[in-house]
């Protein structure tokens, strides 16, 4: 495979091909919400989500990571029902862990703030779970330091206090250099990306109806894979993961059921990977 390949296919086929290619170093994806939660394209059934778990398992290299953003915002509460669709991420988490055999190191909450006045009838959907799965095997490295955020104010030397480790032992207070950057926790904040802004002009121009913030894709790629790795997204959509993989000098393989997004992603990939090579 060259730097990238994209096909028009159901996610099962994309992931089977990734498996046949030797496996993914990272699967980063955002499947459609359950059947009736969205109107812009058909949603997935519970059987689809189960199949997805099995295919993700097989398509990953041993020890490799899969970051799955799945939620089910309910636009309107149905008469006689609560928000059952909001349970999908948690059902999926349990099914993929208990039945498909993936481990779950953590869950990340990714925020994207909507307009302050939106959704008066219920709480506005300000965050979505991004579930971090890993295939059993020697854990592939993660690179959290790449996600350090600049601090608004430098913490001066000598301010590090005692640190208590999970096993109860303590690293005593020490003098440290000035601290200018903070470690990231499992709350990943992407502020002004409500509406249609994703933070990358090329992705923006594709106008896909349900896109990731570009920085979310870029942070996942940076933290959970390394240069030259194969990143796979079987629900390509507006090519956000593709662009993040390209910018991070990773190879990319992806698919989407809709020809339109495949065509648009391909022309974007041609351009972007060519620029990337020129820049190196």
Ligand X SMILES: C[S@@+](CC[C@H](N)C(=O)[O-])C[C@H]1O[C@@H](n2cnc3c(N)ncnc32)[C@H](O)[C@@H]1O
Nearer to ligand X, 100 or 237 (CB): 237
256 binds ligand X (CB under 6 A): yes
**Residue facing ligand X at closest CB distance:** 237
Residue closest to 233 by CA, chosen among 69, 51, 75: 69
> Minimum Å distance from CB 87 to ligand X?
18
Q: Binder to ligand X among 17, 65, 135, 211 (CB under 6 A)? A: 211
Size of the site for ligand X (CB under 6 A): 19
Where in 145-184 is the site for ligand X (CB under 6 A)?
A: none
Dist CA 239 CA 211 (whole Å): 9
Residue closest to 24 by CA, chosen among 39, 14, 34: 14
Q: Is 274 helix (H, G, I), strand (E, B) or coil?
A: helix
41 binds ligand X (CB under 6 A): yes
254 binds ligand X (CB under 6 A): no
> Which two tokens mark 268?
């974007």
200 binds ligand X (CB under 6 A): no
Residue 70 C-beta-side C-alpha neighbours within 13 Å: 29
> Minimum Å distance from CB 198 to ligand X?
7
85 binds ligand X (CB under 6 A): no
Q: Is 183 helix (H, G, I), strand (E, B) or coil?
A: coil
Which of these segments, 53-61, 139-147, 167-175, 229-237, binds ligand X (CB under 6 A)? 229-237
11 binds ligand X (CB under 6 A): yes
> Minimum Å distance from CB 36 to ligand X?
14
235 binds ligand X (CB under 6 A): yes
Cα torsion for 24, 30, 32, 37, to the nearest 10°?
Answer: 150
Nearest 5°: CA angle at 252, between 262 and 51? Answer: 75
238 binds ligand X (CB under 6 A): yes
CA distances to 53, 157, 177, 203, 247 from 222, in Å:
23, 29, 25, 18, 10
Helix axis angle for 11-20 and 46-59, nearest 10°, is 10
53 binds ligand X (CB under 6 A): no
261 binds ligand X (CB under 6 A): yes
Nearer to ligand X, 43 or 170 (CB): 43
Dist CA 193 CA 145 (whole Å): 24
Interacting residue ranges for ligand X, rule: CB under 6 A: 10-11, 30, 32, 41, 208, 210-212, 234-235, 237-238, 240, 255-258, 261
């Amino acid at each position: 495979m060259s730097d990238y390949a994209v096909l028009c296919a159901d996610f099962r086929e994309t992931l089977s091909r990734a498996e046949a290619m030797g496996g993914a170093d990272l699967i980063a994806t955002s499947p459609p919400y359950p059947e009736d939660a969205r109107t812009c394209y058909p949603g997935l059934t519970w059987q689809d989500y189960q199949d997805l778990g099995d295919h993700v398992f097989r398509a990953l290299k041993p020890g490799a990571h899969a970051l799955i953003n799945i939620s089910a915002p309910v636009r309107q509460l149905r008469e006689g029902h609560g928000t059952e669709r909001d349970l999908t991420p948690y059902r999926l988490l349990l099914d993929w862990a208990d039945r498909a055999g993936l481990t779950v190191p953590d869950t990340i909450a990714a925020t994207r703030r909507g307009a302050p006045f939106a959704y008066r009838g219920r709480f506005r959907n300000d965050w979505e779970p991004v579930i971090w799965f890993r295939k059993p095997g020697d854990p592939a490295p993660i690179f959290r330091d790449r996600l350090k955020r600049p601090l608004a104010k430098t913490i001066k030397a000598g301010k590090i206090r005692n640190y208590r480790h999970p096993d109860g032992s303590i690293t005593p207070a020490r003098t440290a250099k000035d601290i200018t950057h903070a470690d990231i926790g499992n709350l990943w904040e992407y502020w002004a990306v409500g509406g249609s802004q994703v933070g990358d002009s090329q992705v923006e121009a594709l106008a896909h109806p349900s896109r990731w913030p570009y920085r979310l894709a870029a942070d996942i790629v940076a933290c959970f894979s390394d240069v030259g790795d194969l990143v796979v997204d079987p629900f390509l959509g507006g090519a956000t993961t593709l662009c993040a993989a390209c910018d991070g000098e990773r190879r990319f393989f992806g698919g989407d059921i809709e020809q339109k997004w495949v065509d648009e992603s391909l022309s974007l990939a041609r351009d972007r990977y060519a620029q990337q090579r020129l820049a190196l």
